[in-house]
Structure 1
């Protein structure tokens, strides 16, 4: 067969089998028992066709059996362990090589166990009929790099994140092997085919398997052929994996990390040495751990963030993080990069290592009880009505006695007893004395309870019942503020999509600044939608946990992760590392430390909000002032009347 190979150009049309797709169940046993007549007839037909078109007699049958045994062991021990479905693709520009591949497939079918096979054939004499769909584990037989391009496998697998496997059998002249092998491996590197092996057969019937390592001690992002295995006729000589781990040691090769200032996730600060800028923060700590474990270096690319509608994917004109990753100008991107369905469709993201609730926050000042309302709050309305009724009854009992015995201040004495004032003069009738004593002793428990409850209410800073759901806030005419990215997430919710004007985005990318804007607002009916962890850090840093109300109903949940170009070969390794860190608890510890770091805290005022100040007692001051004013007016009136009576008596 080696002497019959040719590389004459043939018209390319990406042809396929008549049905182009055969799902068949093949006998994968060592002692098959096929129908003698059917097996012999089909085998004789394929063999005679091959003799006619390709002259198989030029390569000995022992060489064909040698190659078939090598492929059979690969299928049994490697490919069948990865998936129960195998995609076998035959693509050749030369018909003779195509017939030889089909003959090899016939030899393999007689010795396979039960396995589902998707068989695709691409030949110049067949009509193009592409078969879309996922092709995860592939056995590809080609005679050149052009034959591999005819299969369009890269387009079929480009939209998936999980890794796929390619075992490519390249059958061509020995003089063409180096060039075709290099082209195929370059194709694997360009399309992120990390698990890509190429098997060749030389004229001396040597069966070798080549692969590439994208990161080596001498080169980075290069696909140099490396022999990983050889077949001795009975077994593969290397006991290691046919698809080795290629990212366990990256030899210090640089990876471009696209990020931006988004504390506490990523903070861009000036280097202490004054040479450039460096990053720190929760997410950067995670990436640094990945760099140490996989031995790669970081090249930071710091970009200033714009509003989402300024980017190309949002019908804008500027290039943003998503565009940069789509153009493969960066390997990783992070910085509170929230996962969305659209981003997951365009890019690849491993396991999300951070999730938090979006909560609605509003100030409690608008629910604070007024000073006068606070004085009436300790007792319910029924208690106040009964107390007023008792006061009127006692006034009714005292006022007639005042007119009969001309004792002044009977009504004021009743009010004074209620407030705990002593009597200046005891009433003469014993009936009035008994009523006064009863009124005095009965008012003592009321006064004690009222004063205790009033002090407790002022101490605990009780408020009116706030809202518990987002629907109640919107129904009362409240307007929400948030970042532009959060607004885009909220508008995807059915409740908020019907009220797009109920939210306004603040020109910032930090939830911390959104809470500062809420703190500056004193009059409007406004609430903020922010990250729950950022909200708690903000409230604790200013010791204002009692000044804000966080709705119990969560608005939404957001997930944060690392994004990379679609189908990136870094996905599998990074995802595995993140899962191990999450299981061991490291990510939770880094996350907790990031939100309680000292640089998030600010100076707490010396006068804490939990201490009673004069503003909380202004209601009592108002009542006392009114009472002193009335007393002053009464005193002034009595003084004027006394002077007039004195002058009348004198003259």
Structure 2
């Protein structure tokens, strides 16, 4: 590159000799190195921005950039020229940024923070500040404060001194000297060929030196359980998500300070349209660094906050009490046989009675068939062999039916079998059930089309605990209403185990929804990339699943409360064999009695 041509063109336009050609060459080589060896490795696109309050400096920037761009073809470049007298805003995200400014006002005029504020991950900013040595310290501090305020973690500032030194400064938000401060720190120097130190953008969150991180949370066991420690005189927390936060604190060396929202009214922190007392607005105003406590992700929340990889997937299930499907006494008598079996029996008895009445037999004699069907003894034995054959047919034909019916009836009464429970919450709604859940969960369920169509069939309870929703299913609290609860699957299983209610409630197999639980941060937080990396490593190693099982008290697979399997004849084979043996002995005794009775008559 012919830097003398740059200088000659610049001198011709400005008529002022700013610095000699060797200084221009030195600065141009430093800029070339940063672009080719650093920024080109981060992205295939580069946004170059010239924003200068001084016209002469702006011309110098312009010519330098023009010749730098013409000397390589490895990147797609977007060039923005911000003029103080006519500022023009170009919307769109700017991920890899190379800015040439002469002051802090020039950086602020570029208004890049507005374009990148709605994204989650961090961008890269390399700022070349060209100003007099007397103003470098002040302008450098203002620029780094601006980076800290807008969560620009990867923000470097390169300067050129009067001694033609090219130095690169940055800031560390957490140091041993202070927290959340943007003190300029020299990290690199150009020696004419290369930068002396690597990498250009160091890891600034490797060690946070015990700085305080404010965690916004609320009492939500078993995710977060808060209690006051009298010995230490401060609020303490435990639970599945607190184990995760504590691991992050240990790996990054920061100190956790809890900010409790539990004492506030639920309407203040149920995230309704960004209430100023809710966690969304408290995070957006940077009153806290992160928030946990069964914080479920939604499209609207993701628009306002930043969340790393989800550490837990929470299926929402519908739970109903078995008492709603308890079989009544009359239904229990009819339950062992299906409807067509009862109809066949009634038709057979009715046909038999009709035949007796048509032939004008004694009606009382026709009722003997019903006595045989019910297993009663016959007081008067018929004389006609035809009637005896009919009675024998009814006796041995009704015997298996009666044995099966009595066995099933005994089994149903002893085991307290319930009617078949629907497999989805839509079927429960079709049976005029009312769904109850927390008001926060109900707000998230509004995004499900099946819920929106029948929104009047759902009631949101003024609570944040799923346990209280499950308590409302108790017969003493239902008040005769047909209710089902929508709660988290793990919370429901833990609740049923701890209260010994496994046989009283039924969890529908079809999920209402599967929600993602995550840590929420202010938008564009510089914790995003670090938290995402650590959580991904924990998830791949299986630690998050282990912590979840340990917190929810899982000791093995949960046994299904009652299976909806039908009972066949094979299941009653033992009872049939016993009854068959008894009836066989009875028939043998009856035959012996007949022989004893007719033996004297045969001798005569």
Per the normalisation by structure 2, the TM-score is: 0.84
Poorly superposed stretches of 4+, deviation over 6 Å:
393-404
2:31 aligned with 1:101: no
Alignment of 1:271-420 (within 5 A): 271=229, 273=231, 275-304=233-262, 306=264, 309-310=267-268, 314=272, 319-391=277-349, 410=365, 414-420=369-375
> Match for residue 504 of structure 2?
547
> Match for residue 145 of structure 1?
104
- In 2, the alpha carbon distance for the partners of 1:52 and 1:400 equals 128
Contact 2:283 2:289 in 1 (8 A): yes
Equivalent position to 2:419, from 459, 464, 467: 464
Moved more, 540-549 or 286-295: 540-549
Q: Report the alpha carbon displacement of residue 452 of structure 1 after superposing the two structures with TM.
A: 2.5
CA RMSD after TM alignment: 3.1
- Output one character per residue of 1:476-522: Cα deviation in whole Å (capped at 9) or x when no partner: 43322111111212223344334442221112111111111122315
Equivalent position to 1:194, from 125, 134, 153: 153
Show structure 2 runs of 5+ residues with no match.
564-604
> Match for residue 91 of structure 1?
51
> Match for residue 539 of structure 2?
582
> Match for residue 508 of structure 1?
463
Q: 1:371 to 1:395 in 2, by over 3 A?
A: same
SS at 2:22 equivalent: helix
Q: Report the alpha carbon displacement of residue 251 of structure 1 after superposing the two structures with TM.
A: 1.1
- In 2, the alpha carbon distance for the partners of 1:148 and 1:186 equals 12
2:166 aligned with 1:207: yes
SS at 1:257 equivalent: strand
- In 2, the alpha carbon distance for the partners of 1:51 and 1:227 equals 35
- Output one character per residue of 1:52-86: Cα deviation in whole Å (capped at 9) or x when no partner: 31634x52212211111111111111101111111
> Match for residue 234 of structure 1?
193
SS at 2:28 equivalent: helix
2:36 aligned with 1:81: no
2:5 aligned with 1:47: no
Q: 1:442 to 1:145 in 2, by over 3 A?
A: same
- In 2, the alpha carbon distance for the partners of 1:593 and 1:315 equals 35
Show structure 1 runs of 5+ residues with no match.
1-31, 33-39, 602-607, 611-651
Equivalent position to 2:32, from 62, 72, 84: 72
Q: 1:430 to 1:477 in 2, by over 3 A?
A: closer
- In 2, the alpha carbon distance for the partners of 1:513 and 1:180 equals 57
Contact 2:326 2:418 in 1 (8 A): yes
For this pair of structures, how many residues does the alignment match? 557
Contact 1:479 1:525 in 2 (8 A): yes
Contact 2:4 2:21 in 1 (8 A): no
Contact 1:158 1:566 in 2 (8 A): yes
Contact 1:54 1:99 in 2 (8 A): no
Q: 1:436 to 1:477 in 2, by over 3 A?
A: closer
Q: 1:525 to 1:377 in 2, by over 3 A?
A: same
2:452 aligned with 1:452: no
- In 1, the alpha carbon distance for the partners of 2:74 and 2:358 equals 113
- In 1, the alpha carbon distance for the partners of 2:345 and 2:352 equals 11
2:481 aligned with 1:521: no
Contact 2:271 2:440 in 1 (8 A): no
Contact 2:210 2:254 in 1 (8 A): yes
Equivalent position to 2:206, from 220, 237, 248: 248
Q: Report the alpha carbon displacement of residue 89 of structure 1 after superposing the two structures with TM.
A: 1.0
